[in-house]
Structures are given as C-alpha cells and as structure tokens.
Structure 1
Amino acid sequence: MKILQNYIKKSLSILFLSIFLPLFSIASIVFLIKMATYTAIIQLSLFEMSKLFFFMLPELLFYTLPISFFVAAALTLFKLSNDNEIIVLFALGIHPKFILKTLFTPALFLSILLLFNFFILFPHAKTLSSNFISYKKSEAKFNLSASEFGHKFGEWLLYIGEEKSDGTYSQVILFNKKQEEEVLIGAQKAEIINDSGILRLKLTSGEGYSYSEEKFTQIDFKTMYINDTMKTDLDKYQAPMDYWFPKEQSAKIEKKLITNILFSLFPLLSLFLIASIGIVHVRHQKGKIYLFLFLGITIYYALAISLQLVLFAYTIPVLVFGWLLATYIIYKRTIVAKF
C-alpha cells in the first residue's frame, strides 16, 4: 500500500509542477504589467521592481497553488484511469476511499500552507508593498530640475537656478502666499533629505522675507529646514491580528478574510469532487474532464465571493458543509456506486 501511495503522489507531484509553473508564470506576467503602470508615476530601478515583485509573491502563490493542486489531482486520477490502472486497483479490492486518503495528506498540507500564507505573510507583504509605493510616489514629487518654470513644493512655489551633479541645487527661491502675508526665501544651496519616509528640503546660506500690510520682516540664516511639506502616508502594522482584526471595523478586510479562508480550504474540501471528476471508466465514459474542472473552480470561487453579500461571516460554515455534502453525494453516485 505504501508503494502504491508513493506512486500516486509521485504522479501528482509531476503533474502539479507542470501545471503550477505555467500558471505561476502567467500570473507573474500579469503582475509585472501591473507594476509597469507604476512607472508612469514613479521611477523604478531593476532592483526596486524585483523588490516589489517579491512583496507580491505571497499573493501570487495564494491564487495559483490551490487551482494547480485541484487540476493536477484530477488529471492524475484521469491519467490512471486512461491507463486502466484505476480499474486494476478496484479489481484487487482497493476501495475508492484509499485514493482519497492518499490525496488527503498533500491537500491538508497545502491548505495549512495557504492559511499561513494569507494570515501571516500576506499582511506583512501587502503593507510593505503599499508603503514602498507610497514612498516612491512621495519621492517622485521631489523630482526637481532647473528650469524657467517653477515647481510645486507643498504650499510653496519653488524655483531652481542650477542643478549640480551631486544631487544638490543652487540659487533656490521659494515663495508662499498666505491670506495675510507673503513669504519669500532665497538660498545659495538646497538639498533633499529623506528622514523615515518624510522628505525635507535643507536650505543653506540664504535670506528670508515676510511682508504684509502691517510689517516687513527679514532674516538671514545659515541652515533652514522646510519640514513635513509632503509626508508619506505609511500604513502601520504590528501583527497579523492587528491587520485582520483592526480596532475600527473594515468591511473590505472582513470580506477578504472570509474569502481567503475559503480559498485556502478549497484543496481539502474538493477531494470528493476531484475523485468524481478524475476517476472514469474509459470504455464507457468519454469524461469531459476539462469542462468539469472549469465548472468546479468557477462555482466554488463564485459562491465564496457572492454568498458574503447575504450571509457575511456565516458564509464559511455554510459553504464548507454545503460543498462537502454536495460533492460527497456526487462522489457516492458516480464513483462508489460504480466501483
């Protein structure tokens, strides 16, 4: 029996890799195209794009692994049926539940891995990705250059006389018009400083003028910082529980939590359906396996998303027990009754 289990698992692993790798590659290309749209707003080096792709990796794996397992497991059984090996097993007195027990271990392992992925890794990677993009967007706002036109710098209008090779600027003028007064600042040198996501402008050797209808003020300075003009909005993240169960309830987070739990359990809950689709009698059944695979994935995912609109958190127990019952009835009528 051990040899037979290893044989089935080996066939499953080969088919799983042959399905997972192309599916993962296609999903990666889609994500890379999405990442390419960011370059219209921000500048990304090859290293930064690799870093951003690494942040998206848990999400990629989460959506490709369960589908790959479902398809690979069904095709493994279908291949054994085509080679008449399934018929031989049943003729030797092996019950169909032996096949379910063989597939149960990898399905359970995969479901646990998916639960860990979305509950632990996903919040961390999602927060890092969101903060990284926010940081790059705020940094892009400081993409200054010398020109005859001014730059918008928060509440200030900024004019740069010359841009130097070391990344600093010379002959810088800033103007800010408030309701009751106007402020004009001129500096010989300016430098952009990034302090934990807060970008600041450091001015060196300059003068500042403030004038209104009532008074006129002048100051000379050696160093001046213009702070907090463009602060990066960074998401705060402490632990997975803080992300999934925030103090302020979020319908979006709650919906994602329910959906991801159901997606994670998909390999484990679909074992009866896998056996029903994959085990066929080639002499009497044509086996529209690819159609059934498509319908199985589509129906489960559609139910997982749509039932939340009515049942909310009760979607999890309702779909779990309903799906198991429905697929077991199909398994009982198509497999147990015939084999």
Structure 2
Amino acid sequence: MILKKYILSSFSNSFFPIFIVLFSIVSLVNLIKIATLTAIFDISFFELGLLYSYTVPRIIYLVLPVSFFIGAIAGLSNLTSMYELLVLSTIGLKPAAVLKVFVPYALMLSFILIVLSQIIVPKATFLSKQFIKKKQLETVLSIKVSQFGQKFGNKMVFIENKKDQTLMNIKLFEKTGDKSIMLIAKKANIENMSGSIKLNLYDGFGYFTDIKNKTQDSLKFEKLSMLNQQKDIKHSSFRNFDEYWNKIQTNSGDAWNFALGICEAFMPISLLFFLLIFGYFNPRFESNRASMYGFGVFISYVLSYYHISKYYPFSTIAVVPIFWFLLSYFLYIKKIKSRY
C-alpha cells in the first residue's frame, strides 16, 4: 500500500501538469474556432460558454490518454533518476509489481475512452451542430436594415428598409470565380419552411456577368424565389444497438470513426509495458529521455491505427492493439525483466 501511494504520488506530479497544459492549449484552439463564428452570427458570452462546453468531452478524449501515458513514464523515470526504483529492485521488488499499480487505472481509462468516443462525444457534437444551425436560421430570419456583411446562402444581402415582415429595396450579390450575380428587387419576404428558408423577391431585375466569356445577361421578374436549405444533422448513439452496428458495417466513414475510437481506447492497455521499458534505466550511463521516447511511441501507435483503419477498420481494431501489446511485452522481456 505504501509503495502504491509512493508511485502514484510521483505519477500525479507528472500527470496533472501535462494534462492541464495540453487541456489549456486545445481549449484555446477551440475557443478561437468558436470565436470565428461571430463573423457568421451574433452570440452572447453565455452562448460562447455553451458552445465551448460541447467541445470539452472531445478535448478530454484527446488529452487524457497521452497525459496518462507520458505522465506514467515521466513519474517512473523520475524515480529511476533518483535511484529509488533501482534500490527497490536490489531488495527484491520486481518491475512487474510496479506495473500492477497502473493496471487498474489503465483499464478504467480504456472504459472511459470508449464511453467518450462512442456516446458522449457524438452527442456533444450533435448538440453543437444543432445550436449552430439554430443560430444561422435566426440570423437569416432577422436580416437587419442598412447593415453590410449579411448573407443568404452564398449571397451577400443589403436592404434599405423593413416594414413588418416585408423587406424593402433589397439587393443580393454573389461572385464565384469569373461569374457574378446581382439581384435587385423592390420588396421581398422570408418564409420558414420546416428548417429551410425561402426568400421571395418581387418586382426586380437580375444581372449575370461572366468576365471570362465577356458576356452579360439581364432579366426582369415579377417573383423570384430562392431556397436556403439547411443540412440535416445525423447523430449516432446506442439507443438502438442493431441499427448502430448495421450503420457501422455499411458506411465506411462510420466504420473508420468507430475503429479510431476503439483503438484509442485500447491504447493504455496496448502500451502498458512501455511504462517499464522507458521508466527503468541506469542513470549513471543513460540520460533521462523517457518522455521523448514515450511521445515517439504514442505518435507511432496513433499513426499506425489512423492510416490502417482507413482501409481495414474492423481488422485494425484487433490487429493494431494486439501487435503493440506483444511488441511492448517482447521488449519488456528482453530489456527489463532479464536485467531487473
């Protein structure tokens, strides 16, 4: 019990600083991305916090495994640098006994990562997309008078006046490559059609310019309708396991995401013996590069399952974690067990 507390104390001294730093960096990146949405629609400080809260499960999912792996290696290597693990080895404490301290935490972490990747993160992503869709819909429905930068679909919109729900003297402009479209109408109105927005223009003109072909056309219309259709947001969960599993088997994108989540969840178990491989060394003859080596192994593990799962998602779930587990065990037998 004393040994367990001692090892976990060294582990926590490494784990929490790594986790906090990585969590802060990824959070800052996500906040910057969220802040860019203010160019599309207005959001309050509370809504900014709400959008950020939807990203927290994914941040934890990304940061937690690398923090655990590098933190455990750093904790053990620090004890080795102070000769404490080596002294314990000389009085009969085997490295396997040290590893047993981390086994329950690795299993618990794998379970947490499975829950995050397959349930919580998809749900949070769904809620985030729903919120953004709602705000975009509100923005389109509340076009303001004499304000630049407003859009309907891909077209810039400008209105001179507004009476009740009628837009007066509306202008729309869109430029795509060498082609541009200019629409001018005396009045317009907006219809909400179950999530799709319809803009009706009345009594106006349209101008179509093609610079490349040096052509310009125009038309006069009494009524012109444009539809800004919102994309349906798909969301997967375990509410119906048969449906969920059939979708994974038939959709290559869903199968790849499933494989990524499971392989990431197995990482704490697959790389478990690397904690001893990098944590044990002779500080008299070797420098403490354990964290650097550990980070290299972590990146190699991620790259291996990331690329292979694109082509063989279900095979990757079994092959990659087992391969890395056997590799780590073989290196442990060769480097650590035979020496300590």
TM-score, reference length from structure 1? 0.76
Give per-residue Cα distances to partners, 1:117-155, cap 9 Å, x unaligned: 111101111111122222223333334233499x9868x
Native 8 Å contact 2:19 2:64 kept in 1: yes
Give per-residue Cα distances to partners, 1:138-182, cap 9 Å, x unaligned: 333334233499x9868xx99956458xxx56675799xxxxxxx
AA in 2 matched with 1:104:
V
Question: Which range is displaced more, 233-242 or 284-293?
Answer: 233-242
Distance of 1:270 and 1:315 partners within structure 2: 16
Distance of 1:319 and 1:47 partners within structure 2: 43
1:78-97 aligned at under 5 Å gives the runs 78-97=77-96
1:102-181 aligned at under 5 Å gives the runs 102-147=101-146, 162-163=161-162, 172=168
AA in 2 matched with 1:292:
Y
Instruction: Report the CA distance shift for 1:244/1:42 in structure 2 as closer, same or farther (over 3 A).
Output: farther
Give the root-mean-square deviation of aligned CA atoms.
Answer: 3.8
Q: Percent identity?
A: 30
User: How far has the Cα of 1:21 moved from its partner?
Assistant: 0.2
Partner of 2:39: 40
Gaps of 5+ in 2: 172-184, 204-224
Distance of 1:126 and 1:19 partners within structure 2: 25
Instruction: Report the CA distance shift for 1:171/1:286 in structure 2 as closer, same or farther (over 3 A).
Output: closer
Distance of 1:27 and 1:159 partners within structure 2: 38
Native 8 Å contact 1:130 1:235 kept in 2: yes
The 3-state SS of whatever aligns with 2:286 is: coil
Give per-residue Cα distances to partners, 1:36-84, cap 9 Å, x unaligned: 3322222222211111111111111111000000010001100110121
AA in 2 matched with 1:246:
K
Aligned length: 305
Give per-residue Cα distances to partners, 1:212-271, cap 9 Å, x unaligned: xxxxxxxxxxxxxxx995453342447334567538932222111101111111112111
Native 8 Å contact 1:162 1:169 kept in 2: no
Distance of 1:307 and 1:186 partners within structure 2: 56
Distance of 1:266 and 1:68 partners within structure 2: 12
Native 8 Å contact 1:20 1:64 kept in 2: yes
AA in 2 matched with 1:233:
K
The reply on whether 1:311 has 2:312 as its aligned counterpart is yes
TM-score, reference length from structure 2? 0.76
Partner of 1:178: none
The 3-state SS of whatever aligns with 1:280 is: coil
Native 8 Å contact 1:174 1:185 kept in 2: yes
Give per-residue Cα distances to partners, 1:244-302, cap 9 Å, x unaligned: 75389322221111011111111121110111011112123224223312211111011
Partner of 1:277: 278
AA in 1 matched with 2:59:
L
Partner of 2:230: 232
AA in 1 matched with 2:11:
L
The 3-state SS of whatever aligns with 1:39 is: helix
Of structures 1 and 2, the larger Rg is shown by 1
Question: Which range is displaced more, 60-69 or 83-92?
Answer: 83-92
Gaps of 5+ in 1: 176-183, 202-207, 210-226
AA in 2 matched with 1:284:
F
Native 8 Å contact 2:126 2:235 kept in 1: yes
The reply on whether 1:333 has 2:311 as its aligned counterpart is no
AA in 1 matched with 2:42:
Q
Native 8 Å contact 2:110 2:265 kept in 1: yes
Native 8 Å contact 1:134 1:234 kept in 2: no
Native 8 Å contact 1:123 1:243 kept in 2: no
Instruction: Report the CA distance shift for 1:244/1:163 in structure 2 as closer, same or farther (over 3 A).
Output: farther
Instruction: Report the CA distance shift for 1:252/1:284 in structure 2 as closer, same or farther (over 3 A).
Output: same
Instruction: Report the CA distance shift for 1:283/1:38 in structure 2 as closer, same or farther (over 3 A).
Output: same
Partner of 1:30: 29
Partner of 1:222: none
The 3-state SS of whatever aligns with 1:307 is: helix
Partner of 2:176: none
AA in 2 matched with 1:99:
V
User: How far has the Cα of 1:91 moved from its partner?
Assistant: 1.6
The 3-state SS of whatever aligns with 2:247 is: coil
Distance of 1:159 and 1:278 partners within structure 2: 64
Partner of 2:300: 299
Distance of 2:197 and 2:250 partners within structure 1: 32
Instruction: Report the CA distance shift for 1:93/1:45 in structure 2 as closer, same or farther (over 3 A).
Output: same
AA in 1 matched with 2:329:
Y
Distance of 1:21 and 1:162 partners within structure 2: 51
Distance of 2:62 and 2:234 partners within structure 1: 25
Give per-residue Cα distances to partners, 1:73-124, cap 9 Å, x unaligned: 0011001101211012112211111111101111111111111111110111
